Chain A
């Protein structure tokens, strides 16, 4: 890996940065899921039920937001669980 692509190491401040990360995790994970579902609901409510085809774009964007977030959320949560587990072991 190129030197500049390496992440900044925090020396003995690991606990502090992980705390910052944990603090943001609920927003980073749940907000996109909520927004994705809201887009899909908007398509259903104003597009599908009313028979308006103009909301198809909203549906696709909602699906993109949901799928892309699931794609990255799962390995992120796994890594977070691993790091928390190793921290508790200490």
Chain B
């Protein structure tokens, strides 16, 4: 009788240990996917900076037409795919790194793409370049600071990083103007990053709010007797055939 009891006890212990092992393995797997999705989103953001290549495309007539139509078609395809996902025609399983709040809402990558399209198509380089850098480089760095060190450092460090992008883009202008633009742009980017709405993503706001603020300064420059910047930051390539 004692031996049977002992055997049952031994078996139960073994089963408990096996179950514990399985739970631990499952937890590890979920955590690694969580960690992977985290870095995937960061890499996706920083990839956005490479779209500045747009400004390097030559200004030949036919390329000039494509420079408007190709980004527009890409954005429309992205919106179309997203509509299909929200309606359930395409499974969310194909979209890696989506957050819980994006399940029944437009994904942040759509806002990111639309904002970049608006900046490339309708704003001058001096406004578009720093705003795209704020979203593609500033935003993930701000996210990491928030993730590792907490909220208290986010505003100040994020402001400095975004300010730097505006200073780089306006370095050829008068120092006073460069500082005003950098401060206004930095504040706009931080407002855009920290104010989140369910229907409007921060990936859109971090680009469009500073763009609109600097756009006002841009339009006001002639009123104060100053000229708008004309020197390009990224110059189009020149194609020579033979």
Tell me the A residues contacting B by CB distance below 8 Å: 3-10, 13-14, 16-18, 20-21, 27-29, 31-32, 34-36, 38-39, 42, 46, 54-58, 60-61, 64-65, 68-69, 71-73, 75-76, 79-80, 82-83, 86
Known pairs A16-B93, A71-B141. 5 more at Cβ < 8 A? A7-B97, A28-B47, A54-B231, A57-B171, A68-B140
Determine if A8 and B94 form an interchain contact, defined as CB atoms under 8 angstroms apart: no
Task: Provide the main secondary structure of the chain A interface.
Answer: helix
Q: A28-B47, A32-B47, A72-B140 are in contact. Are A20 and B94 (CB under 8 A)?
A: yes
Tell me the B residues contacting A by CB distance below 8 Å: 28-30, 32-40, 42-47, 49-50, 52-53, 56, 91-103, 129, 133, 136-137, 140-141, 165, 168-169, 171-172, 231-235, 237
Q: A18-B96, A28-B43 are in contact. Are A8 and B103 (CB under 8 A)?
A: yes
Hey, which chain A residues are within 8 Å of B171, CB to CB?
A: 56-57
- A25, closest chain B residue (CB): B43
Task: State how many angstroms separate the Cβ of A4 from the closest Cβ of chain B.
Answer: 4
Q: A6-B99, A17-B93, A39-B234 are in contact. Are A83 and B36 (CB under 8 A)?
A: yes
Hey, which chain A residues are within 8 Å of B42, CB to CB?
A: 72, 75-76
Determine if B49 and A57 form an interchain contact, defined as CB atoms under 8 angstroms apart: no
User: With A and B bound together, what is the CA distance between A58 and B43 in angstroms?
Assistant: 22
Determine if B56 and A8 form an interchain contact, defined as CB atoms under 8 angstroms apart: no
Task: State how many angstroms separate the Cβ of A59 from the closest Cβ of chain B.
Answer: 10
Sort A-B residue pairs by CB-CB distance and give the 3 closest, nearest first. A4-B101, A76-B39, A57-B233
Determine if B50 and A35 form an interchain contact, defined as CB atoms under 8 angstroms apart: yes
User: With A and B bound together, what is the CA distance between A5 and B101 in angstroms?
Assistant: 7
User: With A and B bound together, what is the CA distance between A25 and B30 in angstroms?
Assistant: 20
23 sampled A-B residue pairs with Cβ under 8 A: A8-B92, A8-B99, A8-B100, A16-B94, A20-B94, A28-B47, A35-B53, A36-B50, A39-B234, A42-B56, A54-B231, A54-B235, A57-B168, A58-B235, A64-B133, A64-B137, A64-B165, A64-B168, A69-B47, A71-B141, A72-B42, A73-B43, A76-B42
Residue picked from B40, B46, B141, most chain A C-beta under 10 Å: B46
Hey, which chain B residues are within 8 Å of A64, CB to CB?
A: 49, 133, 137, 165, 168
Hey, which chain B residues are within 8 Å of A31, CB to CB?
A: 47, 50
